[in-house]
Amino acid sequence: MKKKILFFEDLGKKEYKETWEYQKRLFYDIIQKKVNNISYQKAGYFLFVEHPHVYTIGKNGKKNKHLLVTSDFLKKINATFYQTDRGGDITYHGPGQLIGYPILNMDYFFTDIHKYLRLLEEVIIHFLWKNYGIKGERKKGKTGVWFHNNVVEKSRKICAIGIKISRWVTMHGFALNVNTDLRYFDHIIPCGIYNQEVTSLKKELKKNDISFKEVKQMVKKSFQEIFDVEFMPITKK
């Protein structure tokens, strides 16, 4: 069976707002083509990016409860804040964290939101096990990838997921902590979940630093395998 083709682009380090606007342009372009029954030969896009310090919250998130600091404090730590159009609650993005934004036309895959979320989790679970031999897991009733200590309150979250779907086109995606400064999570209730820890690949492997370049390549391969796709580079005009 012929693999689905996605345009791939590594945006490097880029501000959250600029990336969000870029996502929306790609997202609405696919939707517009669907609405007008215009043939679209590719199944969508997959973007990698690394953001400067920023806190984002989903459309139903509770800023007053889950953001623990003031706007002035955010300025002191060089962080910005955005209310977004994705699902989920509050999270942090920053240097050393790999963000993956799949902008997919789900007509090429399947039309099942829960299956899509589980496959995004599976990409990270597959990446962790295949490359590092560590077992990432799901947490009942929650979205993301975790490590467990056999005590629910002490589970450690390594990857957050928040998405938007409209007319079966996706945007937003996952945030994998690689070399992330975890102290920035102290200023929020991550994903609105109390009594949880946040971790990183660097912390779990007890290393000074993890090759970000290598992680990108490995996550990319896991995404290709789990979603059964091939990547094509975006050619800028």
Distance between CA atoms of residues 32 and 5, nearest Å: 19
CB-based contact 161:47 (threshold 8 Å): no
The tokens 């995606």 sit on which residue?
173
List Cα–Cα distances, 180 to 37, 112, 224, 228, in angstroms: 43, 32, 24, 29
> What's at 157, amino acid-wise?
K
Catalytic residues: 191
CB-based contact 134:120 (threshold 8 Å): no
The tokens 């964290």 sit on which residue?
97
Q: Terminal CA-to-CA distance of the chain, rounded, Å?
A: 32
The 3 state secondary structure assigned to 178-236 is: CCCCHHHHHHECHHHCCCCEECCHHHHHCCCCCCHHHHHHHHHHHHHHHHCEEEEECCC
